[in-house]
Structure formats: C-alpha cells, structure tokens
Amino acid sequence: METRRTDPTSPTTTETEVIEMKAITHERYGGPEVLHLEEVERPKPKPDEVLIRVVATTVNRSDCGFRSAEPFIARYFTGLLRPKCRILGSELAGVVEEVGDDVTEFAVGDRVFGVNSGRFGAHAEYMCMRASSPLATMPEGTTFDEAASLCDGAIIALTALRHSNLKAGQPILVYGASGSIGTAAIQLAKHYGAHVTAVCGTPNVGLARSLGADEVVDYLNEDFTKNGEVYDVIFDAVGKHSFRRCRRSLARGGTFVETDLGFIWHVPLLALATRFIGSKRVTLPVPKYTKPDVLLIKQLIETGEYRAVIDRRYPLDDLVDATKYVETGQKVGNVVITVGEA
C-alpha cells in the first residue's frame, strides 16, 4: 500500500511529495502489545543501498528479544531507555524497487532474500539494505515465503557447528530439533557428514527424520542423558538445557554448544573456564551474518541439501498475534509474515 501526501511548508511552488508505507513499529519496550501498525515515510536508498519491496518476512527470537529488551543487558545494543530500531524484522524476501548510484550487483526487479540483523526494518512494506550486506538473489524454485525463512536460523546453526569443529562421521545431538535453529542444524550437520541425533517432542519426530536425522529421541518418552549414549557435540538449539545436566553424555574432548545467552546467563563463565579446566568444552558462539553464508544457503537449497520449514503464516496486520505464538516456544521451524504481493 502506498500513501502520498504533500508538504505544505515547502518553499517551492512545486509541492514536495512524501511517499508513505505500512509498518509495524514500537516506541517502548514490553510485550507484543507494544507493537502497532502505522503509516511511516518510505525510506530512500543511499548510493550503496537497494530499496526492497518486502513480500515476506518472519518473526524470530531476535525480534522478540529486541522488542522486550530482556535480559536488561540487551539494552546496551537496543537502546537504554527506548528502542533504537522502531521497525523490527531481520529476515526478508522481496523485489528490488530501486538501486543506489554505486550499486552494480543488483538491478530493479531482482527477487532477493537475506537478513538485516542489527539494523532490522523488514516488518514494513519497504526497506533499504546495503548491496554488500547478507543479501542475494533468491534460489531457483523458491517461494518468497520460503526464502524469507532461510537465513537467521541457518546462520546461527552454521556458526555453532563451525565453533564445535564438527567433522564427518562424528556424532552430534541437536536438542530442540524442531525450531528454526534446530531444523537448520539437522540439515547442516548432515551436509558436514555428521551422524545426527535429534531430540524433539512426539509430534515432530517425523519432521526430524525427514530432514535427515539418523536417530530421533522423543524427549516426552526418553531422557537422552540417561540412555548411555555419548556425543562429540551436544547442540542446545533452544537455550533450555545445561552443560551440567548433560556432561556425562558428552565424549572426552567434546563440545557443548549453547545458543541463547538470554536464558543461560552463566554460559559465558563456563565457556571461559572450560578452556583451561577439564576435557570437555562449552562454547557460546556469536553469529556473524555475512553474504558468503547467504550464498552458501542458496547453494544448498539449489542442490537439494536444505529446505525451509514453515509452521504458520500471518499477514502483516496480525504480527502481534504471530509474535505471541512465537513466544509460546512451540513453533516448528519458522513463522512467516506475508507483507505484499509477489
């Protein structure tokens, strides 16, 4: 939707035209109810940027964390008293509407996907991104909904697997295997040639197997920490486990990978201590979102080694309801927000 208005204070005889767009904004921290739909001015691309008409985006844990500013230390990044980023949304798929003067990689009409972590802006009809940012043309045969849900979970999982030094043939256990990060971790660990055990609830056992898991543990019926199996890597994809509880399931020289500082506050201390004490390591890798990783995901999609997992779709107007659902902790894969027409 595009709304145009004129600036009556313009000193010229020609009225200044301002183009508006729909966006979900927030002015203060809090629950999903602080989000609201409004008309805002459409951004204009700088010389090194592209303007993207957003077709689809997602709600992920980064959006929820920046909106709530929890834990409080997160305000160091998000703004002490009020949000720095009024418009959230990091993942996107859309169409290039305009290119800056210095941009050569993209052209008007290109179908693109990527992630704008830290800068956000995708919960709107239009957004700008640097051409050098984690942005690429969409994989062949992929829908906008699918493309929008590809990057965040996959790049977090990629970072974690790299920090664990996972090698072909090694056994890895993925705890929380049905979420955005977990479904990505199963597929990427198989790409690296690992033997994957997925841990999830009964309704998602079939999904985990379809993504390539060699074994699946239903946590509603079995505790993997008590079955006598050991793994070179234990990957907690949802921040709900602990090194202490599962260290006996970790092989000597193995790595426990945590992904969520917000819930497991003591992990940084463990990561530091286990560098010098004991034979088992704890790591909390911080993802770095790069264009090469987006291009790797695109390649894996096109070779059939990776696929998007989508739980639910909501229109932009219902983003508050989508956020509430994400925060139940029950989503499977990704929650997509449809913004505009393809």
Question: Which residues touch 47 (CB under 8 Å, ≥6 apart)?
Answer: 100, 101, 102, 103
User: d(Cα 97, Cα 109) in Å, to the nearest integer?
Assistant: 6
Instruction: Report which of 288, 234, 239, 238 is spatially closest to residue 267, judged by C-alpha positions.
Output: 239
Asked if residue 76 has pLDDT above 60, the reply is: yes
Helix axes of 61-68 and 319-326: crossing angle, nearest 10 degrees:
100
Asked if residue 166 has pLDDT above 60, the reply is: yes
Domains and CATH numbers, the chain: 3-150+308-338 (3.90.180.10), 153-283 (3.40.50.720)
| 209 bridge partner residues | none
Mean pLDDT of the chain: 91
Q: By mean pLDDT, which of 134-143, 203-212, 276-285 is the weakest?
A: 276-285
Question: Which residues touch 104 (CB under 8 Å, ≥6 apart)?
Answer: 131
Tokens 């996972």 correspond to 166
Structure tokens at 322: 């989508």
User: d(Cα 243, Cα 270) in Å, to the nearest integer?
Assistant: 9
pLDDT of residue 270: 58
Q: What is the mean pLDDT of residues 140-168?
A: 96
Task: Please give the full DSSP string across 171-200, using - where no structure is assigned.
Answer: EEEEESTTBHHHHHHHHHHHHTT-EEEEEE
pLDDT tens profile 21-38: 999 999 999 999 999 999
Structure tokens at 272: 């530091």
pLDDT tens profile 267-292: 566 555 556 566 788 888 889 999 99
Identify the three-state secondary structure at position 93: strand
